[in-house]
Amino acid sequence: MNDMDLEIFGAFVEEGLEMIDDVEPQLVELETTQDDAGNVDLEMVNSIFRLFHSMKGSAGFLELDQIVALTHRAENLLDIFRKEEALLEGPDISLLLQTIDLLRKVMDDLADSGRDDTFADEVTTQVEALQVSIEAKAEGGAAAEATATETIATEASAEAPADDQAIEFPTITITPEMSERFMEEAEELLDSAEQNLLQVLSDENEDVDLSEALRALHSFKGNSGFMGFQHLEDLTHHIETVLEKVVDGAIAADEDSMAVFLTVVDMTRKAVGDIGAGGNGDIPELAGLKASLELLVAQDAPAKEAPAAVEDTAPRKGFIPLGGMKNKKAAAKPAAKTEDVAAAAKPVAKPAAKPQAQPAAAAKATDPRKADMARKSETVKSKPSGSIRVDLTKLDTLMNLVGELVIAETMVTRNPDLDGQEFENLEKASHHLRRITTDLQDVAMSVRMVPLSGTFKKMVRLVHDTALKAGKKVELKLHGEETEVDKTVIEKISDPLVHIVRNAIDHGLEKPDVRLENGKPESGVVTIEARHESGEVWIIVSDDGAGMPRDVILAKAISKGLVEGDGADMRDEDVFKLVFEPGFSTAATVTEISGRGVGMDVVKKNIEKINGKVDIKSTLGKGSSFIMRIPLTMAIIEGMLVRVGRSTYNIPMLSIREAFRPVASQITLTPDNTEVVKLRDELIPVVRMHQLYNVPSDCQDLVDGIVVIVENDGTTAALFADEILGQQQTVVKGLSTYVGQPHGVSGCTILGDGSISLILDVATILANTATSPMATV
């Protein structure tokens, strides 16, 4: 297994997993949208069918037999529902979901090991299960629809869909993302096909291998079929057939044939551009182009001793022989179309409309380079949208370099050698430089932003499974999936979101009968919403369930010793937050889904890791909301720089309430030797930073320095430092794993002068110093 293969597999797996992620929610939705008669949304079945089909195609190309076996069976099963030969039922969905799970597992492993047979046993079992189901359905189906058309043969349906009028397909719902991905890929595939074709023209040696172009066009055909662009699929199918003959040597790879191919590629590209502009990808010149392709076969075939069948079928139907199956379909095409094509197949075919198509299509293209140039200008115009996949480590490197650049810029423009001197031009130039670096930093940051839609989509499946296990009916609503957050944040919020959603279903929502008793609709609603709110991203999970019982939580907390006294004066929010304590659970029994009291602890820990917060709102009988408040990015922090002796520290602005120089009257020393400052009606314990970090400081007396009031989770403390240096946005760097996670430090950052400043971890400092909020005076 060489690296090249692994790379190809990697790309396959990445794409495959994306497809699975797309289709999984649809599968779940299928079940929920099923009407009483068991009818399902055919479009949805079709799009799921296409997923398996595309995957099968790619897997087949890569000779991944296990995946082919799985997807083939799944495809067959779906085909039955697609044709409405049998009703889709719950068990079928579960079966398909299992198949998806297994596919995911196999692909994950494939990416690591380059083998797809690690789970061969499981695959075999699953394939058998699918086969059993297919047979059961097929029998039922055959009885029900004995009149089914001759197109039923599974093989025929396994052929790319939607290229033929004989099989009517409902229009596909194509999401913008799908369309975008299609365009990107189309651009790449056409480029590579074109380059390969051009080699023939530029390269004098005649042995150019065109299989690359063939592969690219084949993939493109698959994609077009998947997206339902009939013309594109039809055309590429033709060019593929002809190209195959060129590769086999049946047709000469000369300027003439290349010119035709390139014209076709051009037209295809134009159609793709058209789709990008909102069109339907139809090619007006389709018939003409197909004709010129056929002409190539007709001209070359006799000379090159093409198989007899080619000559035989081609003229009669006006079609290039397409292999048995395709022939069947071709025959089924409306007569009008066949005639149309046949008419256009005359040697003097004038595809018209396209000026540069004419010389190319006419058998003797005079100057291939001219055509080439025309094509280039065409390319520029039709370029839809450009995006590429980038390795995350490269982005990280970019971020780091930009961070360094910002520092280097400061080092140059504020160089001590320049002190006390005035250079007007230098001033201007450095101003300009600063503006560029700032822009660059913004751009580099934005590159890492990813929409939450992927994470949200995963929840669909989770809700489905959890609801099933808990025996509840749940309707999931998603809002604001397009909200973008930093890639690292996405990774960190996935787990907490899972726990919160599971809890909402298991604890939040009531059983259907209870809901009905309480005058609520039978199925509960879980809403997941994301939105920007004051420099943070809020991810809100709400349910319309029973709400959180304050007294039960409080009683439990008191019995666990988490709350002293009766807790009567605690705010509701604080009471609810008790559920984040490790091991805290009000569930009477531990169920399969939740109840151990671990989940909420995970939520809190993970969210804190990304400097976020979780708030809970709940009304008894009405439902609860969990609000995860997450900073936009972890990579940059807005902080206040303070100096203690020779060291500088960075206090995250998010936790700062205010900062001031205390006066003597504000300071009290309690009998247990704790210093407190009185701020309005509050007594706040003082944390001397020089003691905390064991560094020398300039100020010993509180009145000489400054206190920064920090707050987290309702706890406050006054951090004592020598002076405030300023406020700035800095790029966060992690501490080396070698030093681990020192107490009270969450990371570090490099300042403008190249020195390092530690970023304070306010949460742990508060947790370890102040115990609980001081009582009001």
Partner 1 sequence: MTTLTKDQEDLDHELVDADFDDAHKDLYMTFRIGGQDFGVEILDVNEIVGLHTITEVPDVPDYVKGMINLRGTVIPVIDVRTRFGMEPREYDPRTCVVVVTVEGATVGLVVDRVNEVGSFPEGTISAPPSGGERKLGSEYISGMGKHEEHVTILLDTNKLLFEKQEKNA
Binding site for partner 1 (CB under 8 A): 400-401, 403-404, 407, 647, 692-695, 733, 735-740, 742-745, 748, 750, 754-758
DSSP H or E segment with residue 460: helix 453-470
Report the distance separating Cα 304 and Cα 296, nearest Å. Answer: 12
Q: How far is the CB of 741 from partner 1 (least distance, A)?
A: 9
Report the distance separating Cα 15 and Cα 121, nearest Å. Answer: 25
DSSP H or E segment with residue 247: helix 230-248
Residue 417 DSSP SS3: helix
Instruction: Walk across the sheet containing 623-631 and list its strands.
Output: 474-479, 524-533, 536-543, 623-631, 613-619
Q: How far is the CB of 690 from partner 1 (least distance, A)?
A: 11
Q: Please, are residues 367 and 257 in contact by the beta-carbon 8 Å criterion?
A: no
Q: How far is the CB of 632 from partner 1 (least distance, A)?
A: 23
Q: How far is the CB of 392 from partner 1 (least distance, A)?
A: 18
Report the distance separating Cα 228 and Cα 216, nearest Å. Answer: 18
Residue 98 DSSP SS3: helix
Residue closer to partner 1, measured from CB, 301 or 689? 689
The amino acid present at 242, given as its one-letter code, is V
Cβ–Cβ contacts within 10 Å for residue 548, how many?
22
At how many degrees (to 10) do helices 42-61 and 65-82 cross? Answer: 160
Q: How far is the CB of 601 from partner 1 (least distance, A)?
A: 24
Q: How far is the CB of 747 from partner 1 (least distance, A)?
A: 9
Helices (H), strands (E): how many in the chain?
A: 26, 18
Structure tokens at 641: 């720089």
Residue closer to partner 1, measured from CB, 205 or 694? 694
Residue closer to partner 1, measured from CB, 404 or 522? 404
Q: How far is the CB of 644 from partner 1 (least distance, A)?
A: 11
Q: Please, are residues 28 and 461 in contact by the beta-carbon 8 Å criterion?
A: yes
Report the distance separating Cα 715 and Cα 654, nearest Å. Answer: 14
Q: How far is the CB of 139 from partner 1 (least distance, A)?
A: 59
Q: Please, are residues 200 and 253 in contact by the beta-carbon 8 Å criterion?
A: yes
Residue closer to partner 1, measured from CB, 752 or 773? 752
Please report the DSSP string for 190-243 in residue order.
HHHHHHHHHHHHH-SSS---THHHHHHHHHHHHHHHHHT-HHHHHHHHHHHHHH
Distances 31 to 90, 340, 651 between C-alpha atoms, Å: 7, 44, 51
Distances 448 to 397, 441, 654 between C-alpha atoms, Å: 12, 11, 22
Q: Please, are residues 590 and 574 in contact by the beta-carbon 8 Å criterion?
A: no
Among residues 451, 547, 460, 459, which one has the least CA distance to residue 498? Answer: 459
Which residues neighbour 29 within 8 Å (Cβ) at sequence distance 6 or greater?
A: 44, 460
Residue closer to partner 1, measured from CB, 174 or 750? 750
Q: How far is the CB of 404 from partner 1 (least distance, A)?
A: 4
Residue closer to partner 1, measured from CB, 433 or 562? 433
Residue closer to partner 1, measured from CB, 273 or 747? 747
Residue closer to partner 1, measured from CB, 341 or 689? 689
Q: How far is the CB of 430 from partner 1 (least distance, A)?
A: 20
Residue 196 has phi, psi (to 5 degrees) of: -60, -40
Q: What is the DSSP letter of 72?
A: H
Q: How far is the CB of 635 from partner 1 (least distance, A)?
A: 14
Q: Please, are residues 323 and 350 in contact by the beta-carbon 8 Å criterion?
A: no
Q: How far is the CB of 613 from partner 1 (least distance, A)?
A: 25
Report the distance separating Cα 409 and Cα 402, nearest Å. Answer: 10
Structure tokens at 565: 């006294």
Residue closer to partner 1, measured from CB, 125 or 755? 755
Q: How far is the CB of 402 from partner 1 (least distance, A)?
A: 10
Residue closer to partner 1, measured from CB, 4 or 739? 739
Structure tokens at 209: 């291998």
Residue closer to partner 1, measured from CB, 668 or 729? 729
Site of tokens 């099989």: 167
Residue 531 DSSP SS3: strand
Length of the chain: 777
Residue closer to partner 1, measured from CB, 288 or 744? 744
DSSP H or E segment with residue 259: helix 255-276
Among residues 584, 587, 626, which one has the least CA distance to residue 601? Answer: 584
Residue closer to partner 1, measured from CB, 407 or 628? 407
Residue closer to partner 1, measured from CB, 621 or 734? 734
Q: How far is the CB of 760 from partner 1 (least distance, A)?
A: 11
Q: How far is the CB of 406 from partner 1 (least distance, A)?
A: 10
Q: Please, are residues 154 and 79 in contact by the beta-carbon 8 Å criterion?
A: yes
Q: What is the DSSP letter of 322?
A: -
Q: How far is the CB of 329 from partner 1 (least distance, A)?
A: 58
Q: How far is the CB of 399 from partner 1 (least distance, A)?
A: 11
Q: How far is the CB of 414 from partner 1 (least distance, A)?
A: 17
Among residues 239, 256, 253, which one has the least CA distance to residue 293? Answer: 239
Residue closer to partner 1, measured from CB, 534 or 736? 736
Residue closer to partner 1, measured from CB, 100 or 687? 687
Residue closer to partner 1, measured from CB, 173 or 397? 397
Burial class (CB in 10 A: 0-12, 13-18, 19+), 122: middle
**Dihedral, CA of residue 544, residue 34, residue 461 and residue 469, to nearest 10:** 70
Residue closer to partner 1, measured from CB, 504 or 748? 748
